[in-house]
Amino acid sequence: MIVLFTDFGREGPYVGQMLAVLARLAPGVPAIDLLADAPAFDAKASAYLLAAYADEFSAGTVFLAVVDPGVGGDRQPLWVEADGRHFVGPDNGLFEVILRRAKRHRVRRIAWQPEKLSASFHGRDLFAPFAAGLARGAPPASVEIDAATVRRPEWPDDWAAIIYIDRFGNAMTGLRAARLDPGARISLDVHTLGRARTFSEMGPGEAFWYENANGLVEIAANRASAARNLTLTVGSTFTIK
């Protein structure tokens, strides 16, 4: 299947245009719109989010991942192979965490260009056609490059920061819960949060942290918006006690 991961939002035509390209060029290949509200313009936060979700997909899956504030600039278009999965998108750090955690990986620069390439929508004009060809087993031209040239070694393995806020106001972090002691507490300015297994263990409005369904530390409040009550935004940092 082809899995879309973008910051385009579902309000406008952008995701639909990409799905139309995939339907035309890779008919019969399922296209899943996994996430259309990745952190806008934020490749770093999106990198940790993408890595958490990618593990749920089987080898052979093609991720069409576009969080691309540098579209039209000098960043490279990439095809990354990591543990049998494929990732197509811009060279801006979006695949750093995928590469870091993979046992096997290979990085290629997309050399193919379509006849018509807009300056502002490479997701539709370049990445979607390439992903379609890849899913059909006939990827357009690419050139293998040294993976070290696209890495971000200064980024932490696990990031103590908010990387995504869902519509309920739950705040996902860049930390894998398995890396924390069960008794760890999260310190957010004047708030200190303990761990709970699930929402029902807490009273209405009470904030806590827990291991979410994708293995990340998530900050939440029972039947309330943790983001609003704790004044959290994407990029907010915290400490562990």
Q: Where are the domains of the chain?
A: 2-150, 159-240
- Lookup: tokens for 100: 């870091």
Task: In whole angstroms, give the CA distance from residue 9 to residue 73.
Answer: 22
Task: In whole angstroms, give the CA distance from residue 31 to residue 15.
Answer: 11
Q: CA angle, 175 as apex, 150 and 79 as ends, to 5°?
A: 25
- Lookup: tokens for 120: 């502002």
To the question of domain 159-240 being in CATH 3.40.50.1100, the answer is: no
Q: What integer pLDDT is reported at residue 202 of this predicted model?
A: 97
**pLDDT tens, the chain, 241 aa long:** 999 999 999 999 999 999 999 999 999 999 999 999 999 999 999 999 999 999 999 999 999 999 999 999 999 999 999 999 999 999 999 999 999 999 999 999 999 999 999 999 999 999 999 999 999 999 999 999 999 999 999 999 999 999 999 999 999 999 999 999 989 999 998 899 999 999 999 999 999 999 999 999 999 999 999 999 999 999 999 999 9
Find, among 120, 110, 106, the residue nearest to 88 by Cα: 110
Please give the order of strands across the beta sheet that includes 216-221. Answer: 159-165, 171-176, 216-221, 207-211
Topology (CATH) of 2-150: Rossmann fold (3.40.50)
**What is the β-pairing status of strands 2-6 and 31-35?**
parallel
pTM of the model as a whole: 0.96
Tens of pLDDT, residue by residue over 182-197, are 899 999 988 999 999 9
